[in-house]
Chain A
C-alpha cells in the first residue's frame, strides 16, 4: 500500500474526489443507485413486469406469434412445440409430415431399414444447410430410408414424448436420437429464455421429467394456458420458481440485472457459474439422462425398434483447445459411462478426430451446427452401425 501511495498514478487515483469531482460523483451516484435498486427492486417491481424487461422485444413478439399459430413451429400438447408442416424458408424445407426428409413417405416402410432421426437442430441440420446436406439425407441408400424429425431446441425428454405420442406411427425399426454436447441441462429446464437468455427466436415452454422415487414423473406445462396473459404471468413464474433449475437467472436479473454495475457483476457471476459446470458432474442429473435413455429404448423395443444415441460435440468440446484443454472432459466420461451401461452410443467426436479435419471444416461458424462435410462423415460412420442394429431388431421382430 505504501508503494502504491508513493506512485503518482495511485496517488491521483486515490484522490479522485478532489482531482476529478465530476467523475467521483458520477461513480458515487451510480453506486448509490445500484445499492437502492438491489434492495428495493424486488419489493417494488412486480415479477411479471421484470419478465417483460427480461425478454427482448423480439422474444415477446415471437411468443405472441407462436401462441397465435403464426410461427414456423406449432404448439404441441405433448412436447411444447413441433415443426409446422409444409414450411419453406430458403434452405429450410419441412414436408407435409413435419419432417426434414428428402422424399415423401407414409407410415408404410418402403425399404428394409427405416431410420427415424430425433433430436435438436444439430440433427436436423440447422438453417444454413440444405435438406440434402443433412445426416439423414447422406444416409439414404438402397436399403436405408431416413426420416428426419429433428426439431429445433429439442432435448431428450421431448424426443421421448414425440416418439411416444406421434412418431411411433411411422414404423421405423431404427431410432437415432441426438444427444447434444450438454444433454443434461435442457432436461432441467421448462422455459427456454431462462436457460438461453439470448435465444429470442424460440422463447417457448416445454414439459420435463423429474426423478421421483426411482421412477420418472412427467411435469407438464401447457403453454397456451401458462402464457395466455403473457407477459403478465405470475402463475407461470410461481411454477418455474419450483420446477425450473434455471429460474435463479431470472431472480438474479430482478435484483441485479436492472442497472449497469450490478448487471456487470451478475454477468460475471453467471459466467463463473457456467464455467464451474465444467467441474460438476452431477450423478443425479446423469441418472435422469440414463433413465430417459432407458425409457426411450424400452419405448422403441415395444415397437420392435432399436435406438442408437449419437453424441454430437460442439466445436469447443471437439477441439478442447485453450483453457478447455485443462478442464475435465465430461463428454468422454459420459460416453464411457453410457457405453459401459450397454447403450448403443456413437461417439461423433472420435469420428471427427480420426478424420484429421480441422474444427473449421467440421463446424458451422456458430460453432454448434455441423457442416455438410461433417454430416456426410457421420452418415458414413453410422451406416454399418444401423445395419448391425437393424439385424438385431429384425431377429427380435420375427
Chain B
C-alpha cells in the first residue's frame, strides 16, 4: 500500500477513526492487526518474515536480560545479531555476493557458471530488521529493559507508518509510547495532518514530476543528452530523492502522530548543509545515527589515532552504502561519501560556526564555499546511487564534462516549479534555524493560507502517474 495512493488515505482514515474509539487495552492489538494487514497487502507470504523477526528478537531480548554472566549475555547478543543479519543477508545480499564471487573467480581465470537464487526482496526488510535489532542491542547495553508484552513488541516491529521505509525507530524510543495511555489531542492531529500534507506534496508533486519529466528520461539514455541537460538532471535527482524520501518520512511521522505516537524526525533540510558531517546530521538522520551508534562508535569512533578514525569512517560509510542495496553502485556511493567524510575530518574548522559567535564576511564566504562544494559533491555522488550500473554512472559522469550527445530536454514550467518548491522548503528551514521569531510570531492565518493554496495547487499539478517510493526497494 503506497502512502501516496487513495487506498492508503482510506485505510488511514478507517484506522484513525476505529483506533480512537477503542479502549486502551485493545488499541495495541488493533494496531498490530492493521499493521500486519498493511504489510500483507503487498505480499502476504512475507508477513511470515516479519513474524520471524519479531519472535526471534523478542526472545533474544529476554535471554540477554536473564543471562547471569557477561559471556552468556554476549553470546545471546551475537546470536541475535547473526540472526538478524542472516535474514538480511539471505534475502537481500545472497545473489549479490554469489554474483560477485563468480565474477571474481572468472576474472582470476577459473571458470564458474552463473548461479542465481530466485529470492524476492521483501519490501522494507532493511528497515524492520534494523529496528528489531535495536531491541537486543539496547537491552545488552543496559539502555532498555525487555518488555513483558509480546503484543507491544510485535506492534513496535510492525507499526505500519514506519514498517517499510522508516524512520528507523529504536525500541527504546517507541516501546514506552506503547505502554502508556493515549489521549487524542487537537495539536497532535494538526501536526499529523500538516506532516501528511507536506509529505504528500513533496512526493506526489515534486518527486514524481521531476522523475517523470526530467530525471527518468535523461538517466535512461545519458549518452544522448548534452552536458547542460545532464547537470540539470543530476540536480533534479538530488531534489527528487530528497522530496521522495523526506516526503515519505513526513507522511510516516504524520500518520503516527494522528494516532498519538511520536516518530523521530528523519530530515533536517539537508541542502542547507555546509559540510559533509553536517549533511549526514541532516540526511536520513535515523539511519546515520544508527550507523554512528552501532557501527562507527563500537569500531572506536573518534577516540583513536587519526588513521584509525579514517578507516572507521570508510568502513561505516561502505556498510551504509551496502545497506541501501545489493549493488556495486551503492557500495561506491557509500565509499565516495566515506572519502568526503575523511576529507572533512582532515580539514576541521572549515565552514564551522565561529567559536566566539562573531560572524565575519570571511566566515560568510567560507560557509558559502563550503555549502557549494558540499552540495555539488553530494549531487555528483547521487549519480552513482541512481545509475543502473557502474558503466551507466561512468557514462553519465563523463557526459557532465561534455562528452555525450547534444540533445536537450523540454523542461516544462512544472519542473521549474519543483525546483522553486524545493528552494522554498529550504528557505523555510533556514528561517526556522536563523530567524525563528519570524515563524513563531506569524498568526495561524498565514500558514493556513499557504496550506490551502498547497492543496489547490496539488489538485491541479499532481501527475497522474504514481511512482513507488525510492526507498521501498531497500
Contacts and interface: CB of A to CB of B under 8 A. Distances in A.
Interface of A: 7-9, 12-13, 15-16, 18-26, 28-30, 33, 56, 259-260, 263
B11 interface: no
A22 B185 contact: no
A348 B185 CA distance: 58
B298 interface: no
B452 A23 contact: no
Give the size range of B's interface with the partner. 20 to 34
Interface of B: 20-21, 183-187, 189-190, 193-194, 444-445, 447-449, 451-452, 455-456, 458-459, 464
Given A25-B449, A260-B456, 20 more contacts: A9-B20, A9-B184, A12-B185, A12-B189, A13-B186, A16-B190, A19-B189, A20-B186, A20-B187, A20-B190, A23-B194, A24-B448, A25-B448, A26-B447, A26-B452, A28-B448, A29-B452, A30-B455, A30-B456, A56-B464
A25 B193 CA distance: 13
Contacts of A16: 186, 189-190
A211 to B, nearest CB: 38
Give the interface centre of B20, B186, B464 by most chain A CB atoms within 10 Å: B186
Contacts of B449: 25, 29
B451 A26 contact: yes
14 contacts: A9-B20, A12-B186, A13-B186, A13-B189, A16-B190, A21-B448, A23-B448, A25-B444, A28-B448, A33-B456, A56-B464, A260-B455, A260-B458, A260-B459
B189 A22 contact: no
Contacts, number: 68
A72 B340 CA distance: 54
A18 B190 CA distance: 11
Q: Which of the listed residues A22, A29, A30 has the most CB atoms from chain B within 10 Å of its own CB?
A: A22
Contacts of A30: 452, 455-456
B190 A23 contact: yes
A320 B382 CA distance: 50
Contacts of A20: 186-187, 189-190, 193
Contact of B445 (A13, A25, A260): A25
Contacts of A56: 464
Contacts of A23: 189-190, 193-194, 448
A26 B189 contact: no
Contact of B21 (A7, A12, A18, A24): A7
Q: Is the interface of A mostly helix, strand, loop or mixed?
A: helix
A28 B451 CA distance: 11
Nearest to A32: B452
A19 B185 contact: yes
A18 B452 CA distance: 19
Contacts of A259: 456, 459
A109 B193 CA distance: 70
A18 B451 contact: no
Nearest to A53: B460
Contacts of A26: 447-448, 451-452, 455
A16 B21 CA distance: 18
Nearest to A31: B452
Would you list the 4 A-B pairs with minimal beta carbon distance, nearest first?
A19-B186, A25-B448, A20-B190, A260-B459
Contact of A263 (B185, B447, B459): B459
A29 B444 CA distance: 12
B301 to A, nearest CB: 42
Contacts of A263: 459
B464 to A, nearest CB: 8
A260 B458 CA distance: 9
Nearest to B19: A9
B444 A22 contact: yes
A33 B452 contact: yes
A209 B122 CA distance: 56
Contact of A8 (B184, B194, B444): B184
A18 B186 contact: yes
Nearest to A29: B452
Interface-central residue, A12, A33, A263, by most chain B CB under 10 Å: A12
Nearest to A56: B464
Which of A12, A23, A29, A259: most chain B CB closer than 10 A? A23
